[in-house]
Amino acid sequence: MKTDEAGNRVMTEKPKFVALDITVDGKHEYRIQNVAVRRMYIGELVLASPGVAGRWILNLHLLDGIQLTIKGEEFVLRVQMWGADR
């Protein structure tokens, strides 16, 4: 991800596959590699509050998602979003 002259974040390349690291109770437990990406894009969260800067959001949509059983519970991930202040 790069920033253009206007300060906007721009994705120059979109991966076809990603690796996912899964932590359980603060400890790294799993690394799942070659997870197919359906869509990845940057969005902007527009806030109505005066004086609050906009936030960027990175959206990752997985083609088939992942499914794990962790401590007897099902964990399913198909979409993940990350955000940060400008």
The domain ranges of the chain are: 2-85
Which one, of 35, 34, 42, 36, lies nearest residue 13 by Cα?
Answer: 42
The predicted model gives 18-37 an average pLDDT of 95
Sheet holding 73-85, edge to edge: 17-24, 27-45, 55-70, 73-85
Q: Where are the alpha helices (DSSP H) in the chain?
A: none
Residue 78, pLDDT > 90, answer yes
Q: What is the mean pLDDT of the chain?
A: 84
Residue 46, pLDDT > 80, answer no
Are 11 and 1 a contacting pair, CB within 8 Å? yes
The model's pTM is 0.72
What pLDDT is recorded for position 50?
Answer: 59
Counting every residue written for the chain, the total comes to 86
Q: What is the DSSP letter of 52?
A: P
In angstroms, the Cα distances linking 2 to 5, 27, 36, 58, 76 are 10, 31, 23, 13, 30
Give the CA count within 13 Å in the CB-facing half-sphere of 24: 11
The predicted model gives 36-54 an average pLDDT of 73
What pLDDT is recorded for position 11?
Answer: 77
Percent of the chain with pLDDT over 70: 81
